Amino acid sequence: MTVASTHIQLTNTNATAAFAAKVGTLLSKGDVLLLQGDIGTGKSFFARALIQSLQKFPEDVPSPTFTLVQTYDTLSGEIWHADLYRLSDPSEADELGLLDAFYSAICLIEWPDRLGSATPKSAVSLSFETTEEEDARRVTIEDNKSDLADKIMKAFL
Ligand SMILES: Nc1ncnc2c1ncn2[C@@H]1O[C@H](COP(=O)(O)OP(=O)(O)OP(=O)(O)O)[C@@H](O)[C@H]1O
Ligand SMILES: [Mg+2]
């Protein structure tokens, strides 16, 4: 299967927050975003902005580096924010309840490579990269032909 992609330039943190809020409007229960990219590329920043944009009273959204998952009630239903950097085995994802959450919530997953074969097929990858500009990021949306990828691609083409 050929997988196409779209690149988006995010010139500063405000641009990333606006992008996150727009992606947030497209998500519903059962949608899974795989937030890829090296340390410090903006995965947590993106997730935080997305979650807060869907909250009537925006809460603190700490990075789930140590807790692995944090859950939030939002206007679009429950959102699970996971950072799987410290996941030692994909079976732990089940213990965390993540495999059920893939169906029952919106999931934003940092370091999704740790999931291995437990990665949902319909999940869409957003890959973050730094650029020469300190406050700019480049994000690549992978079009895996899922309904969600379709919606996201249409919104940003
Ligand atoms: N355009 C931008 N978009 C997002 N973050 C940016 C941007 N410009 C600068 N930054 C800064 O980059 C940092 C990104 O940190 P963040 O915690 O989101 O990284 P991360 O990808 O989640 O890393 P980790 O893999 O350690 O979890 C923040 O300090 C943020 O303010
Ligand atoms: Mg992070």
pLDDT higher than 70, residue 2: no
Is ligand 1 within 6 A of the CB of residue 136? yes
Three-class secondary structure of residue 78 per DSSP: strand
3-state helix, strand, coil in the chain (%, to 5): 35, 30, 35
Three-class secondary structure of residue 49 per DSSP: helix
Find tokens 């089940």 and name the residue.
94
Q: What is the DSSP string of 106-157?
A: EEEEESGGGGGGGS-TT-EEEEEEE-SSTT-EEEEEEE-S-HHHHHHHHHH-
How remote is the CA of residue 122 from the centroid of ligand 2, in Å?
22
How remote is the CA of residue 75 from the centroid of ligand 1, in Å?
25
Q: What is the pLDDT of residues 77-93, one digit of tens each?
A: 999 999 999 999 999 99
Band of residue 146 on the pLDDT scale cut at 50, 70, 90: very high
Is ligand 1 within 6 A of the CB of residue 112? no
Nearest CA to ligand 1 atom 2: 13
- Cβ neighbour number for residue 11 with a 10 Å cutoff: 12
pTM of the full predicted structure?
Answer: 0.97
Question: Which of 9, 13, 38, 111 should be mutated for ligand 1, with most atoms under 8 A from CB?
Answer: 13
pLDDT higher than 80, residue 25: yes
In this structure, which topology does domain 13-136+144-156 adopt according to CATH? Rossmann fold (3.40.50)
C-alpha distances in angstroms, 23 versus 6, 52, 81?
A: 14, 12, 15
Q: Which ligand is nearest to the CA of 48?
A: 1
